[in-house]
Amino acid sequence: MRVVRAMGFGGPELLVPGEAPDPVAGPGQVVVEVAVASTTFVETQIRRGVDPWHARPPLPYVPGGLVAGTVISTGQGVDPAWLGRRVVAGTGETGGFADWCSCVSPRAPT
């Protein structure tokens, strides 16, 4: 699948497209086909390496802490009724700049 990785800390020129293995939903997780990946101001500061309050993720990493899309698989302990539902979900901090990502805490839009 396609991803965008931060190859270093700095400006957007360090965001590089690439390939990665398809994610697998772990216990309590879902895999979402990403339609929209968000980025917050804090995430841009972390990516730039200037945020003093949050740990820097190990490089390279796939940014994106929140996504919206469709659930395509569920992990152990997740109700299979989530399959096919459109959701907004947290990635756990990183991983949203991808075709698919494993997520925690899905929420169905209202």
Q: What's the topology of domain 2-107?
A: Quinone Oxidoreductase; Chain A, domain 1 (3.90.180)
Q: What pLDDT sits at residue 106? A: 66
pLDDT digits (tens, 9 = 90+) for 20-40: 999 999 998 999 999 999 999
Overall average pLDDT of the 56-69 stretch: 95
Percent of residues, the chain, with pLDDT higher than 90: 85
Q: What pLDDT sits at residue 5? A: 98
pLDDT digits (tens, 9 = 90+) for 84-108: 999 999 998 899 999 999 998 565 5
Query: Residue 39 is encoded by which pair of tokens?
Result: 């980025």
Is residue 41 predicted with pLDDT exceeding 60? yes
Domain boundaries, the chain: 2-107
Nearest to 97 by CA among 32, 31, 11, 2: 2
Asked whether the beta carbons of 100 and 22 are under 8 A apart, the reply is yes
